[in-house]
Structure 1
Amino acid sequence: MPSSPCGPNCVEAVDRVGTARLAGRLAQVAGLLVSFPVVNAITPRGRREAVQRGYAQALLGCLGMRLRVVDNRVAAATVSETARPDLVSHIGTALRRDDRGARDGADPVRFAPKDTGVLVITGHIGWTDVVVLAAVQPLGFVARADLIDWPLLGRLAKLMRIIPIEREKLRALPGVVDTIAGRLAAGDRIAAFPEGTTWCGRAFGRMRPALFQAAVDAGAYVQPVRLRYLDRDGAQCTVCGFVGEDTFASSAARILRSRGMVAEITLEPLEYPGLDRRDLARRCENAVRGSVPSRHGGADTEWIEASATRVQDPAPAVPQRAPGQRGPGMRRRAVALFRGRGRDAKSVRIG
């Protein structure tokens, strides 16, 4: 079972707000959680995504966080194929030909257009990760099964149609993979945390390949996301780390008392699914981690054994493509994902 060496010593305090501000935040959070199910139910389906995104952003604000989104996808797609012979190079021409990109924040950054199935993956730091991702664009989540029973997030988890996973029951993992693949094929955006457990944010574990099989089965692209929490001085902080023997109550109290935090999301170029989930996991891990070292390293974690899942690394039924070669169908789907985006990498501040 995946494990993390992070514990209470990893979590550092930041500047705190006063008692009055804390009480105000608690009241605001309570108001949002009570009103959201009602507002969501009476909102027409076509407008619910905007409402859900707005509530997620408001909840971040009540927790004392600002959201910063950096989109590296379009800048990478404009690089010539000679300089970057991979997936994103094939859509650069289409982006330049169909540039309706947002300017001055008129069009929010999104993971993918509506009804486009994409697997969003990132490292797992704490329960606030779910709120941060939903503040970019609402999506379903693969989450611990007991999240539904949590006092604050349980109701939201049900509304977001989470896909529950029990870490102690690896025999149920093939069913989870099938469910994710089905949702992706139906055009849902699904977020997953392939490390299998939470880390403090400065340290991280390896991304296990099991959940990536869903993207391979569905032929869905994967959106790697780099997620960091920063203090008011711009330094990476660990306040949101839900590690060790931490409880939801103590974690929520710590976050609500914090001042000036920023949740930073960086969208890296899409990864094509390919035929090998292990290769896909490595590519996504490299995209998310880059050259950043982990404080604890990866020695204390374990990979989910392939024998515990429905599939082994598949023997190719068709000839493998060369490393730089992409199928035309994948190129067309990639172009569709990016149509309507701008030419340049963009940083968006919300809140």
Structure 2
Amino acid sequence: MTNPNPWLPRASCGAECIRAGSGQAGRRAAVALRTTLRTILALILIPALPLLAVPLPGRSHIQRGYCRLVLRCLGVRITVSGGPIRNLRGVLVVSGHVSWVDIFTVGAVMPGSFVAKAEMISWPALGVLARLMKVIPIERESLRRLPEVVDAVAARLRAGHTVVAFPEGTTWCGLGYGPFRPAMFQAAIDAGRPVQPLRLNYHHRDGSTSTVPAYIGDDTLFESIRRLIVARRTIVGVHVESLELPGTDRRALAARCEAAVRGAQVPQAVHGHALAA
């Protein structure tokens, strides 16, 4: 897969990455039962989407609860570890990027406005959620508009809002990783606000890495959702790292946050599928 724009992360992953960490689905009857049940529960939750936009007291708690329910309906269980989640205003949240599922995973821990590719707003169901959660759209093919996005993120941070960004600029299968790009970190520096790194890890019940939630290569959104609801339980671990002060060097800030997100893992820029920035 060629990439005419050298600024854009390379998206070269394929079905072999999914097979490498797919696990076993189980017996046919069990697969049919869990698929039907998860589909019904997910459809029940869709009409509640507008509640996320209602300015009620404790809306962040509603958003967290809703995202957890969506994950549970999809067969994903979430665990949270690490440092405390500090109740600060104007924080840039960053993490590695595997899938559209990351939106619900981060939303279940630290809900906020997401920076995501513009075409996501046109997606069924998820597009509605994107608009309700005031997604900051980015046209990844247009470098000239990148400063506008950075300014928009900085403005949200100054106003005391939480903003979530995925600095890899593309999704990765979970078995490999891409480098953090420094552009979004400039917003934290401009606004003088801290950055909260989150380490996400999708795995099977036996602890092995799961690529089931991945949205990569030539995946369609439908196929990605189907793969998730058919699979056995997926567990996502969210490790809350220490807050990073912005400093004055966006590249140094990006490197510090990437080191925190990776932990003991070694970054490997090998696979991907463009989704968010």
Q: Same fold (TM over 0.5)?
A: yes
Q: Which residue of 2 aligns with 1:330?
A: none
Q: 1:242 to 1:264 in 2, by over 3 A?
A: same
SS in 1 for 2:44: helix
SS in 1 for 2:43: helix
**What TM-score comes out, normalization by structure 2 length?**
0.89
2: CA distance, partners of 1:300 / 1:230: 18
Q: 1:217 to 1:44 in 2, by over 3 A?
A: closer
Q: Which residue of 1 aligns with 2:24?
A: 15
**What TM-score comes out, normalization by structure 1 length?**
0.71
Q: Which residue of 2 aligns with 1:66?
A: 77
2: CA distance, partners of 1:234 / 1:291: 16
Q: Which residue of 2 aligns with 1:92?
A: none
Note the alpha carbon deviations across 1:259-315, whole angstroms, 9 max, x for none: 121011001111110001011011111111133124xx33789xxxxxxxxxxxxxx
Q: Which residue of 1 aligns with 2:269?
A: 298
SS in 2 for 1:136: coil
Q: Which residue of 2 aligns with 1:247?
A: 220
Unaligned runs of 5+ in 2: 1-7, 273-277
Are 2:250 and 1:277 equivalent residues in the alignment?
yes
Give the alignment partner of residue 195 of structure 2, picking from 222, 225, 245: 222
Q: 1:299 to 1:21 in 2, by over 3 A?
A: closer
Q: Is the 8 A contact 1:209 1:277 kept in 2?
A: yes
Q: Is the 8 A contact 2:172 2:271 kept in 1?
A: no
2: CA distance, partners of 1:298 / 1:21: 34
Q: Which residue of 2 aligns with 1:77?
A: none
Note the alpha carbon deviations across 1:9-40, whole angstroms, 9 max, x for none: 11132232521221111111111011231x44
Q: Which residue of 2 aligns with 1:140?
A: 113
Q: Which residue of 2 aligns with 1:56?
A: 67
Give the alignment partner of residue 286 of structure 1, picking from 252, 259, 263: 259
Q: Which amino acid is 1:7 matched to? A: G
SS in 2 for 1:4: coil
Q: Which amino acid is 2:44 matched to? A: G
Note the alpha carbon deviations across 1:181-234, whole angstroms, 9 max, x for none: 000111111110111111001100100111100000000100111101011211
Q: 1:14 to 1:170 in 2, by over 3 A?
A: same
Q: Which amino acid is 1:140 matched to? A: S
- CA shift, 1:50, in A, is 1.6
Q: Which residue of 2 aligns with 1:206?
A: 179
Q: Is the 8 A contact 2:95 2:197 kept in 1?
A: yes
**1:74-153 correspondence runs (5 A):** 110=85, 112-113=86-87, 116-153=89-126
Are 2:40 and 1:27 equivalent residues in the alignment?
yes
Unaligned runs of 5+ in 1: 75-109, 302-351
Q: Which amino acid is 1:298 matched to? A: A
Q: 1:239 to 1:182 in 2, by over 3 A?
A: same
- CA shift, 1:5, in A, is 3.2
Q: Is the 8 A contact 1:4 1:205 kept in 2?
A: no
Q: Is the 8 A contact 2:173 2:271 kept in 1?
A: no
2: CA distance, partners of 1:172 / 1:36: 30
Displaced runs of 4 or more, over 3 A: 298-301
1: CA distance, partners of 2:271 / 2:65: 39
- CA shift, 1:49, in A, is 1.7
When structure 1 is superposed on structure 2, of 17-26 and 176-185 the one drifting more is 17-26
2: CA distance, partners of 1:63 / 1:242: 15
- CA shift, 1:152, in A, is 2.2
SS in 1 for 2:238: strand
Q: Which residue of 2 aligns with 1:83?
A: none
- CA shift, 1:148, in A, is 1.0
Give the alignment partner of residue 189 of structure 1, picking from 158, 162, 165: 162
- CA shift, 1:44, in A, is 5.4
Larger Cα-atom Rg: 1
Are 2:176 and 1:174 equivalent residues in the alignment?
no
